[in-house]
């Protein structure tokens, strides 16, 4: 009989051991607890955070956050487990409610008496899943998670059809169109709209790794800031894959908001959103109006919408964008009301309540 050797062999042994322990934990009684995970445990934000806040205010359920670097919480009902630790997999196996905006690891095997809510983290503009060339292994775990979830959250018919049915081949049995909990804050917060918000998406080095293009982003941000009209403030937020590098970049520090400020809180204060292919545009449409699509680099994955379908004008030229900042945007190809009906019809500030009510009703 052959023997396992090297790093691959060690990993195989560890995987088998983890599967056996996880299977044993799955036979333990469930705890009336909510396990929450956001962006593979890199933050406590997005839809899961909005749901957590609502649960703390309106229920007595304890919460567990999966975190890569566990921290203490002010509320004694909230604890943390280190991502992919033994405590993490035990919580994954024994928590009644599971909430994630991406995917749980491939080891995950949902119990029949667990309630799994997958909220995802954005309405897609970039092509995804089966609409991108690549091996099935790139999307296998995403498909498995979406198929096993009791509730898959959608912002509306466009997201359901384009992403769930199309890109990942998920049927309609567990997809519900209720809106996005993270967007609710845009309805609750009505500050002055004084931001010019640049939100570029990430450029792919590989399917999961971002290209570090922050020097280029810094140069563009400087030009945007110079053209921003008096009385408005230029701010930048890059994709979470580049957030740590952006915080250390000397050319960007002046434009970065405090990390604790969520993207949707920024959108509530935004007069003009500048983006390329980020799904943040669909969140902004719920309460905002002025969008400029600035696409200096082609996105190899491709996008779902033509220029004529975009809720704002598009240019790849930085000087044209600077001119728009000074003179105003040209006419948008799609009227705002039409764009809202298509891309964010259920955003009204009450999505979190609807989602939590459905989650708890499934137990």
Coil, strand or helix: which one is 49? helix
Coil, strand or helix: which one is 169? coil
What's the CA gap between 293 and 316, in Å, rounded?
8
What's the CA gap between 265 and 282, in Å, rounded?
14
DSSP state of 46: H
What is the separation of C-alpha 326 from the centre of its chain, rounded to a whole number of angstroms?
A: 32
Q: How far is CA 340 from CA 9, 222, 343, in A?
A: 52, 31, 5
Confidence at residue 10, expressed as pLDDT on a 0 to 100 scale? 58
Which CATH number does 18-180+349-361 carry?
A: 3.40.50.11820
Hey, what are 217's tokens?
A: 């982003």
Confidence at residue 6, expressed as pLDDT on a 0 to 100 scale? 65
Which CATH number does 185-343 carry?
A: 3.40.50
What's the CA gap between 285 and 267, in Å, rounded?
9
Tens-level pLDDT at each residue, the chain (363 residues)? 445 556 665 567 667 888 999 999 999 999 999 999 999 999 999 999 999 999 999 999 999 999 999 999 999 999 999 999 999 999 999 999 999 999 999 999 999 999 999 999 999 999 999 999 999 999 999 999 999 999 999 999 999 999 999 999 998 899 999 999 999 999 996 778 999 999 998 676 455 566 768 999 999 999 999 999 999 999 999 977 778 888 889 999 999 999 899 999 999 999 999 999 899 999 999 999 999 999 998 888 899 999 999 999 999 999 999 999 999 999 998 999 999 999 999 999 999 999 999 999 998
pTM of this structure: 0.93
Q: Helices then strands (H, E): number in the chain?
A: 13, 12
What is the separation of C-alpha 117 from the centre of its chain, rounded to a whole number of angstroms?
A: 14
Confidence at residue 1, expressed as pLDDT on a 0 to 100 scale? 47
What's the CA gap between 179 and 52, in Å, rounded?
16
Confidence at residue 4, expressed as pLDDT on a 0 to 100 scale? 54
- Give 14: exposed, middle or buried? Use CB within 10 Å, 0-12, 13-18, 19+: exposed
Place of tokens 């570090």: 212
Question: Could you tell me where in the chain the CATH 3.40.50.11820 domains are found?
Answer: 18-180+349-361
Confidence at residue 16, expressed as pLDDT on a 0 to 100 scale? 83
- Give 308: exposed, middle or buried? Use CB within 10 Å, 0-12, 13-18, 19+: exposed
Confidence at residue 191, expressed as pLDDT on a 0 to 100 scale? 75
- What DSSP line would sit under 101-156, residue for residue? SS---TT----TT-EEEE--S---SB--GGGSSS-GGGTHHHHHHHHH-SEEEESS
């Amino acid at each position: 009989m052959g023997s396992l050797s090297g790093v691959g062999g060690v990993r195989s042994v560890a995987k088998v051991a983890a599967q056996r322990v996880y299977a044993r934990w799955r036979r333990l009684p469930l705890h009336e607890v909510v396990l929450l995970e956001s962006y593979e445990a890199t933050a406590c934000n997005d839809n899961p955070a909005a749901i957590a806040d609502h649960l703390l205010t309106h229920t007595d359920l304890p919460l567990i956050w999966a975190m890569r670097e566990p921290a203490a919480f002010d509320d004694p009902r909230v604890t943390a487990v280190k991502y992919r630790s033994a405590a993490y997999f035990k919580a994954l196996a024994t928590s009644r409610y599971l909430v994630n905006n991406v995917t749980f690891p491939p080891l995950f095997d949902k119990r029949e008496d667990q309630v799994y809510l997958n909220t995802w983290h954005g309405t897609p503009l970039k092509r995804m899943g089966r609409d991108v060339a690549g091996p099935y292994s790139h999307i296998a775990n995403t498909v498995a998670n979406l198929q096993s979830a009791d509730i898959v959250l959608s912002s509306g018919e466009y997201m359901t059809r384009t992403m769930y049915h199309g890109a990942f081949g998920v049927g309609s049995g567990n997809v519900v169109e209720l809106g996005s909990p993270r967007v609710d804050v845009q309805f609750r917060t009505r500050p002055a709209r004084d931001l010019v918000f640049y939100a570029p998406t990430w450029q792919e080095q590989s399917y999961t790794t971002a290209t570090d293009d922050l020097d280029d982003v810094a140069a563009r941000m400087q030009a945007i800031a110079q053209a921003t009209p008096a009385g408005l403030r230029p701010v930048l937020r890059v994709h979470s894959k580049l957030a740590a590098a952006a915080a250390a970049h000397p050319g960007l520090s002046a434009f970065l908001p405090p990390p604790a400020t969520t993207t949707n809180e920024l959108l509530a204060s935004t007069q003009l959103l500048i983006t390329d292919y980020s799904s943040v545009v669909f969140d902004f449409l719920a309460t905002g109006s002025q969008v400029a699509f600035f696409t200096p680099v082609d996105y190899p994955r491709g996008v779902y919408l033509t220029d004529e379908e975009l809720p704002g004008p598009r240019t790849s030229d930085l000087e044209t964008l600077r001119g728009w900042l000074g003179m105003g945007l040209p006419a948008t190809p799609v009227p705002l009301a039409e764009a809202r009906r298509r891309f964010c019809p259920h955003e009204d500030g009450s999505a979190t309540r609807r989602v939590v009510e459905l989650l708890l009703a499934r137990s």
